[in-house]
Structure 1
């Protein structure tokens, strides 16, 4: 008996080790707890193996320790596995789990004190069939151990009992098999304890339980569940499904197929024949194929999509196939209706803008031997027509214009409605007599029966020279031509001039790229030093530059005029103000005394509260207002002068220094100097360079400097390019200087290097 059980235990240990290793390699979430459980089952079996083989009391005692501690480890890992397998969150029961783990840990520790106190167990020698064994004699510690192990074991059983009750019966199989095995192992272990036999045969039961856990956790597939689910899914599919075996005999059809094929019994012998006659299906022998068929004509037509799918076993041998038959009639009709609605304007029946663009794009791309023209037709003051005569009349005008286009078009023309009162046309160049069209447009009248109303329309035309450009750009060019005559009443047609192209494209390009350029910091501040009479750098003016990824370094004249015109200069200015504040807040030590002048455009006052924006930046970056100088031009005061003066006064009261830029280069007047709240007067050296009489210009300049000094204004001359100019300006009383003689505008890093180089002069 001893040798038999020893061999059995060794085999069980090997198998448990193998299953534990396989579990470790699995990617399933439950694999790790399964692996730990397999390995911990080995520990009590090793303890029992020593007890079975040993006739020595000391070795038997060691075996008892291994066995008892192994039981603690086993129920601990069984508890962890039960949580994972039953889908119970450890975090939701963290305290309870920690209590159980702590009790089991204490139980393990108490065995280490048994050699000193003898409180857990002792050993006694017995003879069975003439063979000497040592068996464990339990004391108080061992009884406590058994209670703890049974409680932990019962907790795991409780998880499986609750799960078996709660889940649907078809899912319960994977739980009650393990529950049954665990219960059997527990009963077997109880019998061993009560019978006090020297060999714990319940280890075989626990091992069988571990094998079941290994299989059901990692490899079990609920085939009954899958079969029932697949049957239910096939029955509820929206398409008809017909299953055939390997011999081409129909074995099952779902309800949808019964309805289509008009089959009311479970006799499927004639299914294939009916399929062949109804759908004219000819099986070519291919494993998988699909086809679309239309049965009937006109409004009674039915549209079907039919597919064949081969079914094979694990060895890739054919076991059957199935046909799916989808009635697509409603979808196709809806699709056709959606296509029409998506491609046609509901009011006029003309093509929509998107569809028109696609048709033109395909026409121009495929017919490269022909030349085409794009025309944009616009109704003048259409909103006024709606407001005066009502929407019904307005809709009538649109329909009449659409019909007029149809009447004048040839088969080669493509036309549609672009927007409320705009229509687009693509026609072969030369197919339209523009003089005739001009005459007809001048006489275009609509009538409601009693009143005739002349409708003024303008047409912009772009002759396509580059078919590769986007259609929307072609219409943009036609629109640009139209805008040149939008206020004309006697001229109705204008043709796009290619000379407009480059500037228009450039303006559009940089305008659309501006926001991204700001976001990606392609727009950068350049600083031009401002020096005093001694040549020391006391500050800088922030000038904008664009480091364009495609165009390279862009000077301001390439983009500032465009943004000044379209109002986007406000975005640029606002960004440069922020950059200036960032730079000022980063300057420490000697640089903390430097200032930066920022420009404010007249357009800024229309798009934002300039004072509030700049004050918010001052507060955000925690800098002194005097270090951020406000630089305006005389054009700021051209409109709303009182309001602008009030804003500039608020700046000065808040501690800002206000500068007037380009004094003397435009139409600056002494009246402005009298009224404007200023601190610094910036004089442009172009004042001298443009003068025919240099002596007179110098005299005026000297007196302007003297006047600014008498008014309590600092004077700053910009555009200083030579040492002679610098000396002359110094002599006649100028206080601050800026220009290429000192330094050109440079990056912030270069400016800081220049300041570091001239530390003594800051």
Structure 2
């Protein structure tokens, strides 16, 4: 066949008459988005579209809807015949001409006689009846959406009000009385999930016996397990202290099944650690089962008008099945807004919903119409895109990140948010929706750990790391109860004559299965929960008691205890230290508190006040890891500190590294000018020791003298410790 279809097949005008009678606009694709009409075009088409050249139309330029559809159509036209899905590709219905004269249209891409064809069909004749049916269904669905939205807002408002009461340190008994008659089920747990408040609705809806405290403690855990099937990320979200809400099917203790809408909100104390979880639940079984067939209500999120989580699971499962048979690659992007809760709490839920709506629209514009964009709930979105190569995957990721750059204006104020994105690929990172979702969620969490406002791709090491982390978090609580922590002590050697022993207390965790676990691993985990306070209290009490036990032998032991930023910022920290000294009988001058620069950078005035109180009590204060931060010199003059601990990164390079020599000498001179002593950490060679002695360093600490030792190994060498600095 030569020439075009228009030339060879339609010269007699017969086919043109047929097309005109059917009210169809038929085109042959010339190139890209350029199309040439076949036969006469209907009048309605000419009222909407104009040719860019003689008998040529750029449909993508003139219709945003067609621009998106033609991306998919082009892939369809260029696919081999045995790879095409069906005999044609449909666009779905859209309207042209505005609200008053809108005309419903549908486009079809097809291939005939090896030609790429595009048909645009006018559906006006049979559309009105369908529209009325759709309108009635829409009105019903919107009514249900309104009810769902109102319930969601009421849950959020109740959760926020209870959170404020907990933060105001109201008694749990008072709070329990406040919610006793609330129609929503209320459960307040501590950070470990132990029940502290449960109202009557919780007992009635979920058939919990009023005296079954152990059963109540398991309610949150049971909910997490039940929801995990539809929300694989829920445990990670909750344990990391993030807000969560959603709907899932729950089975009561009597075997009946219910659909519940659950809201879990963390309460963060002044140190940013989770102190409580506030859970608000409602039975929505009647609403759920009473709306089968109302697909819009079932599938659309009422806030953003995007597919909701239920719709997302169905769509991604179908897409995976299609990708499996057609050997395609998919990319799942898990998008989580950074610090959204702060904005939501400060501006209110209506403003928060406006932000979600705005970002939902931006995210949807980052991908093709055939890709999946869903609002999973809260501040979380999911995008699933069909991709061909790594470059496409990275391009979409960057497009998503960039979509958050423009500010959102609310009441004449610009707000800027960023997002953390995790990516998992099918089939490389998982062969089913649940696995892909878990892996994308872990990658997103890794992006947040690395500083937020970035995209991270899933790697197996991320999953293994998170699983190990989760197990360690669970084991930390048991470690305190089972006495798995030990204190080791590393001597600090005076380079002049000394009449007492100086030791630094260093915690060790002897895990029953993994052996010794480094503090660098478990201390950050403890700082993210309230466990750091329990661990810190144990270290302080144990170290004070150890140092005091030698008083009867006439041996003075000064012990240094490391204090984390979380501990130092506690309002009752001074009281805790005073109690430890009182319980042990240790004189204040034999206790030294070590803090790091990060302890005071954000709350300078409060920390200076706290350190001043410690010094007035007679306690010495050391600034640990001095020189490792960027602001040390700026704050040094303001801090009431007795000792500077020179960071071992400088000591390690002595005496060969010129810059380290210069920094070390300058720090020692500066400290002495400010009437402070200097303790050098990490001394391992005689050359390092000689240089530090030459510069007038006061104390040294490191493997050259002693490794950290268990407490029972130190008394026999106390005399050696006091003499070591003058002998070497």
Q: Same fold (TM over 0.5)?
A: no
**Pairwise TM-score range, normalised by the shorter structure:** 0.3 to 0.5
The structure richer in strand per residue is: 2
Higher helix residue share: 1
**TM-score normalised by structure 2 residue count:** 0.42
Q: Which has the larger radius of gyration?
A: 1
- TM-score w.r.t. the length of structure 1 is 0.40
User: Bigger relative contact order, structure 1 or 2, given CA contacts below 8 A and separation 6+?
Assistant: 2
